[in-house]
């Protein structure tokens, strides 16, 4: 029934996964140790390890030294979103991308941004507000703070030409980020920007990035009406 030839780790993963899917192993059940499975499948422990690691990364099983491998009690659903450069996102929909800088000014960070970064006190940072357009319609309105301590070069970039979004992604790798999504009613400003009614429900993303605990940027992006954030996954 199982493959007669030499086992690949994907093959092993599938066999084990199927034993879970058809309830031969139920949540909480413990698997034989890797070595025994290796014997059963006619492969080395390394190969079983690779398969089990993949299942563990997928949130399907839990592994503990000495404790063995068990089917997770509460299988985790992990949804992964890939957040692209806004220009590419627009272009991939077949629309023409344009970008409009509203202003870029150095000023002290408001309390909200101090909290986002976890700073001790307000700092002077570069505040950039801009609009990303798709076929001349506002697509995303962006309000961004950039740490000029961590990224002094940003002051020399011509932000009327290149968006801070794109410049930062290309030139400033980060080591950690925080991302949140929520919903707001359009105020009069956003209603005007997106040419929609006041109170229109809009999706908002906030992303804050650091490099080694040094703040890089914190951005609040308001998306146009009807925006969907989409993830697809295989367990």
Report the residue from 19, 63, 72, 98 that binds DNA according to the rule CB under 7 A.
Answer: 63
* Residue in 89, 107, 109 with CA at minimum distance from that of residue 99: 89
6-25 binders of DNA (CB under 7 A): 6-11
Near DNA by CB under 7 A, which window of 65-73, 134-142, 166-174, 175-183? Answer: 65-73
Interface pattern 180-219 for DNA (x via CB under 7 A):
----------------------------------------
Buried b (16+ CB within 10 A) or exposed e, 22-45: eeebeeeeebeebeebbeebebee
3-state secondary structure of 103: strand
Which residues, in sequence order, are CB contacts of 110 under 8 Å at separation 6+? 122
Near DNA by CB under 7 A, which window of 16-24, 64-72, 144-152, 169-177? Answer: 64-72
* 157 touches, from a second copy, DNA, none (C-beta below 5 to 8 Å by class): none
Cβ nearer to a second copy, comparing 15 with 85: 85
Q: Are 194 and 182 in contact (CB under 8 A)?
A: no
Q: How many other CB atoms are there within 10 angstroms of residue 180's CB atom?
A: 11
Binding residues for a second copy (CB under 8 A): 20-21, 27, 59-60, 74-85, 88, 169-170, 173-185, 199-203, 207, 211, 226-235
């Amino acid at each position: 029934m199982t493959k007669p030839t030499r086992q690949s780790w994907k093959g092993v993963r599938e066999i084990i996964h199927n034993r879970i899917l058809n309830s031969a192993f139920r949540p909480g059940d413990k698997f034989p140790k890797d070595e025994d499975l290796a014997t059963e499948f006619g492969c080395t422990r390394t190969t079983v390890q690779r398969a089990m690691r993949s299942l563990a990364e997928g949130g399907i099983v839990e592994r503990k030294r000495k404790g063995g491998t068990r089917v997770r009690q509460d299988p985790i659903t992990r949804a992964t979103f890939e957040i692209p450069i806004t220009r590419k996102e627009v272009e991939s929909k077949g629309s023409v991308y344009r970008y409009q800088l509203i202003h870029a000014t150095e000023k002290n960070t408001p309390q909200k941004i101090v909290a986002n970064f976890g700073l001790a006190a307000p700092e002077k940072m570069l505040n950039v507000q801009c609009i990303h357009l798709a076929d001349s319609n506002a697509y995303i309105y962006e309000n961004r703070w950039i740490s000029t301590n961590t990224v002094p070069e940003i002051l020399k970039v011509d932000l009327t030409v290149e968006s801070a979004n794109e410049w930062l992604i290309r030139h400033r790798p980060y080591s950690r980020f925080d991302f949140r999504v929520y919903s707001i009613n359009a105020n009069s400003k956003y209603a005007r920007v997106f040419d929609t009614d006041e109170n229109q429900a809009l999706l908002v993303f906030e992303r804050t990035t650091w490099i080694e605990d040094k703040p890089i940027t914190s951005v609040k992006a308001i998306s146009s009406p009807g925006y969907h954030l989409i993830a697809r996954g295989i367990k």
